Amino acid sequence: MINIITGEINSGKTTVLQSIYRHLNKGDGIALPKYFIDGRCSGQRIVQLSTGKTELFSHKSSAVPDGWVEKIRYDSYSFSNKGMSFAEKVFERIIKEQISPAFVDEIGPLELRKDGFYRDLTKIISLQNELFIAVRSSCLSDVLQLFDIHTFCLLNVCSRLVENRVLFSR
């Protein structure tokens, strides 16, 4: 079953995904919590859920940290080569060991242009194991179409509360 956690930017999708992982206490995957410098969002860290290991993942491209090696740029954000490699290793393990449930945060504009986690998510979906993905609501219909997802459970996050849980079949 594919479980989609959806909501607007800053609605709490990552928090819900992490809470579900802690509640189930099994599986593996990644979360992308925001990090702040001087009270302002500067980017995201990538966290492997099973180990708690972290790396910097994205940063405002106007002020990347020293030693930053960019892999992808989208809008005003730079995505690190090291962070992307970190994610790929987690996904490789999920695929090789068929770990279930798998958790992937966040599928959006990068994947819609077949970049970011696109390739790995395609492989994870093909395993047909339990999957939890966070998807920005503005990208939801395009993600469903691109990844050919017809049956899924939708968890709509609104103001950091899970609003509903509905099984959809398209």
Predicted TM-score (pTM) of the model is 0.90
Tell me how far apart the alpha carbons of residues 139 and 96 are, in angstroms, rounded to a whole number. 28
Tell me how far apart the alpha carbons of residues 5 and 33 are, in angstroms, rounded to a whole number. 15
Half-sphere exposure of 147 (CA within 13 A, CB side): 28
Tokens linked to 97? 């060991």
What share of the chain has pLDDT > 70, as a percent?
Answer: 93
- List the helix and strand counts (H, then E) for the chain: 5, 11
Tell me how far apart the alpha carbons of residues 116 and 61 are, in angstroms, rounded to a whole number. 16
Chain Cα centroid distance, residue 40: 21
From 83-87, 88-92, 165-169, the region with the lowest mean pLDDT = 165-169
* pLDDT tens per residue, range 108-134: 999 999 999 999 999 999 999 999 999
pLDDT of residue 159: 52
Superfamily of domain 2-169: P-loop containing nucleotide triphosphate hydrolases (3.40.50.300)
Tell me the sheet residues that pair with 28: 102
* pLDDT tens per residue, range 4-40: 999 998 899 999 999 999 999 999 999 999 998 888 8
CB 80 within 8 A of CB 116: no
CB 73 within 8 A of CB 100: no
Domain ranges of the chain: 2-169
Tell me how far apart the alpha carbons of residues 79 and 103 are, in angstroms, rounded to a whole number. 20
